[in-house]
Chains A and B, each alone.
Chain A
Amino acid sequence: DTAVSQTPKYLVTQMGNDKSIKCEQNLGHDTMYWYKQDSKKFLKIMFSYNNKELIINETVPNRFSPKSPDKAHLNLHINSLELGDSAVYFCASSHGAGGPADTQYFGPGTRLTVL
């Protein structure tokens, strides 16, 4: 069983569309994250949720909206997609409250291409 899964793995879409990426973890973790791998290959935190509550919200355009229906799921919805949104998006989870010493477990990534 995959511990942290993301769907879809690849997403190709037109500028202006709205799309969602789903993430699920079966590790029983309390905290989930979304990262964006930027053009220089850095992993940058976007959001984190602890028990369905938002705890980190970095400077991200408000076109990006995370939603956590339960603590095992954290979905990322993106409105009005732009070319600059093309990137690989990674979901992760950790046990505990999301402190900096908590080991994070990553999903396989979703490669988003905006045309």
Chain B
Amino acid sequence: ILNVEQSPQSLHVQEGDSTNFTCSFPSSNFYALHWYRWETAKSPEALFVMTLNGDEKKKGRISATLNTKEGYSYLYIKGSQPEDSATYLCASNGGAQKLVFGQGTRLTINP
């Protein structure tokens, strides 16, 4: 059974501060790692998909890194803004075709 774990489960950050959180996944049979952003009452929205060890992706103030050998990915948010408040999900492949999601990190930005 593939376990994808995210930490912390929740996080409060002051507006303007930078933050990061972690996704851990089994490194064997790795194929892909996804990050999604999920705002309350909306659908999960794709941020990044990474497949190669050492991959780094960036979208605006949000970036992600991938270490497939040790089985972790970090998501970084620089200069947090209130609109960054959301749950951030990661997912990795649990076998050839399906994604297994972590429980998410709920991020709250305090103005």
Contact = CB atoms under 8 A, between A and B. Distances in A.
Contact of B98 (A42, A56, A103): A56
A115 interface: no
Interface in A27-49: 40-45, 48
B90 to A, nearest CB: 11
Interface stretch (A12-20, A62-70, A75-83, A105-113): A105-113
Nearest to B99: A100
B30 to A, nearest CB: 9
A28 B41 CA distance: 25
A40 B103 contact: yes
Is the interface on chain B under 10, 10 to 19, 20 to 34, or 35 or more residues? 20 to 34
Contacts of B51: 101
Given A99-B96, A100-B96, 11 more contacts: A42-B102, A43-B91, A44-B101, A55-B97, A58-B98, A90-B44, A100-B93, A101-B32, A101-B51, A104-B34, A106-B36
Contact of A103 (B49, B93, B97, B104): B49
Interface string B36-50: 100000111110010
A74 interface: no
A44 B98 CA distance: 10
A42 to B, nearest CB: 6
A104 B46 contact: yes
A41 B104 contact: yes
B107 to A, nearest CB: 15
A72 interface: no
Nearest to B45: A106
A29 to B, nearest CB: 13
B23 interface: no
A4 interface: yes
B63 to A, nearest CB: 17
A45 B101 CA distance: 9
B97 A108 contact: no
B72 interface: no
A45 B4 CA distance: 14
